Chains A and B, each alone.
Chain A
Amino acid sequence: MRKITLLLFSLILLNCNGLQDLEEATVTLEFTHNWDGDLVDSSTFGDFNYRTANGENTSIERLRYVVSQLQFVGNTGINFSPKTYQFVDVGNGFGLSLNIQDLIPGTYEIRFRFGFSNADNQDGVYQDLNSASFNVPSQLGGGYHYLQMDGKYKDPNQNELNYNFHVIRAVNTSNVGFPEFVDTSFAVNLGSVTIRNDATVEIQMNIAEWFKNPNQWDLNSLDTNLMSNFGAQLQMIENGASVFSLGAVIQ
């Protein structure tokens, strides 16, 4: 009888440990921004703190973007898709963190899409983005900005000039009446993270990469009116490929 009791206790104990292992976790995604390692946030806006690969001293005054199709893809086949899209407005401190509840511990690849896919980039359907005036004019195909970065740079004569680095679905309007659209959203895979319990996962944007790699960006020739510049949009997206990376994982 004593052996049976001991066996029962052992089974209960093992079972409890198993449950503990399967306890659901809360993961907080934190979107942070830097310029080759120097922190960028609203407190650094407006100052000429940053130098592009092409040599222009620049300031940032507005930085807003959207990522979509956020996914935690588990190696056990368990996937989480916590939110359709996340709108980040660095200046207003909006959308900088995202809580994901009830994630089962395990190893996951963190994936998302910068901007919206063509299928998701429907004109006027996202009320919060409409309210934030994040739309793209119907003349350029409608839908939404993927990124809006505005600021100033200094030209070779140290004159302060404006730039509007706006990423949208590229449209080639050179053939009047027959616009050509190119989906400029792109998939990002931050790699694998093992979630054991509640965790904070940092998603970094290195803003300098938008101006660096593989296309060294010359703001003196590409500063404004970039939404309707088909070639500029394609270059932006090539540069965007190296912008996001996985930062600190704290748990």
Chain B
Amino acid sequence: MRYIISLLVLVLFCSCSSKQQDDYVPVPYTLNMPPIFEQKLAPPFIPSDNPLTAEGVALGKKLFFDPILSGTRTQACAHCHRPQDGFSHAFQFSEGANGDLGTRNSMPLFNNAWNYNELFTWDGKEFRLENQAFEPVTNSIEMNGNWTTIEQLLNTHDDYPELFRKVFGNQRIDSTMVVKAIAQFQRILISGNSKFDRYLLGETTLTPQELNGFNVFMAENKGDCFHCHGSDNNPLWTDNDFHNNGLDATFTDLGLGGVTGDPNDNGKFKTPTLRNLVFTSPYMHDGRFATLEEVIDFYSEGLQNSPTIDPLMKNVKQGGAQLSTSDKADLKAFLLTLTDFDFIRNPDFNK
């Protein structure tokens, strides 16, 4: 009888241990919200089916920097979204795992939790951050991976099974878990500590040139940039919407129109944030402008008319806003105040 009781106790203990292992509870992760975001912006979007956890974020970071997701095992997400480039890429087009070049410039990745419409990429073809991460992994001119192979590699890896278990429980690792973890990491990439942020918080001052540049940015009869690119009250510096900003009279890349099939959407691309422009050159969806001076000249004198040009590009008839040389210089000085060096240096965001 004593033996039977001992056996029962042992079975119960083993059962409890096993259950404890199954029921690992990941630690909730709290976003490090910039004060100016808390003051000015609606709360970030964190989907209920993929809450942030410390383990999920850490796993997402490891995957983001791991070439295991590419077909050649040579290219990670971070290859085209480099931390030092504001999680974009310094080249106009990025080289994929097989050496092929893409056709669009790599988008910067930060403050994505505040992309309220949840439409990602230049043409908005991906709804939700989780879905966005699926595409480049298998795209033949990007990472050219194969999810079946990747899942096998992850399931037989020395480290990953335990890391995934802590986030998703005892399940076979699949692609959905991979993109969920990567999305968690992407949602913590927050940039909100630029000189202009500190100015808004009353912690520093701007030079007269920077202040005038801000006025040019906000003035309806000058830059009128604020309608699409945010303002002191929208510190995302993007409206997260899609516009034809007058780059071309005819389109080789339809942008949003290629996704919706609506000709009225042809030539529309997502408004990029103006934060961290120092790091995110070249500019525009196709990286056609290497410098900020080129961008400002374009908006001042280089607009091209087309049927879908945004009505906010109101001076297209005159070629643009016709800014003076000094206003152009001041505008650039202001834009540089949106640089967040802490974001680039943050060890939590780097490999």
Contact = CB atoms under 8 A, between A and B. Distances in A.
A242 interface: no
Contacts of B262: 46
Nearest to A127: B42
14 contacts: A45-B264, A47-B264, A130-B233, A131-B116, A133-B231, A133-B239, A138-B218, A138-B232, A139-B218, A162-B316, A164-B314, A224-B314, A224-B315, A225-B314
Interface string A199-230: 00000000000000000000000011101100
Contacts of B41: 127, 130-131
Contacts, number: 79
A162 B314 contact: yes
Q: Is the interface of A mostly helix, strand, loop or mixed?
A: mixed
A133 B227 contact: yes
B234 A151 contact: no
Interface string A220-249: 000111011000000000000000000000
A75 interface: no
Interface string A130-166: 1111010111100000000011100000001111100
Nearest to B317: A161
Which 3 pairs across A and B sit closest by C-beta, in order of nearness? A46-B264, A150-B311, A162-B311
B219 interface: yes
Q: Is the interface of B mostly helix, strand, loop or mixed?
A: loop
Contact of A225 (B221, B227, B228, B311): B221
A172 to B, nearest CB: 15
A162 B317 CA distance: 9
B219 A163 contact: no
A92 interface: yes
A123 B232 CA distance: 10
Nearest to A149: B311
B42 A128 contact: yes
Interface of A: 45-47, 61-62, 92, 123-124, 127-128, 130-133, 135, 137-140, 150-152, 160-164, 223-225, 227-228
B231 A227 contact: no
A224 B262 CA distance: 26
A219 to B, nearest CB: 11
A140 B116 CA distance: 27
A36 to B, nearest CB: 21
B254 to A, nearest CB: 14
A163 B233 contact: no
Given A133-B227, A135-B234, A137-B218, 12 more contacts: A124-B39, A130-B40, A131-B114, A133-B234, A137-B220, A139-B218, A139-B219, A150-B310, A150-B312, A152-B311, A160-B307, A161-B317
Interface string B36-70: 00011110000000000000000000000000000
A132 B239 contact: yes
B264 A225 contact: no
Contacts of B218: 137-139
A164 B232 contact: no
Nearest to A153: B311
B164 interface: no
A228 B220 contact: yes
A54 B234 CA distance: 37
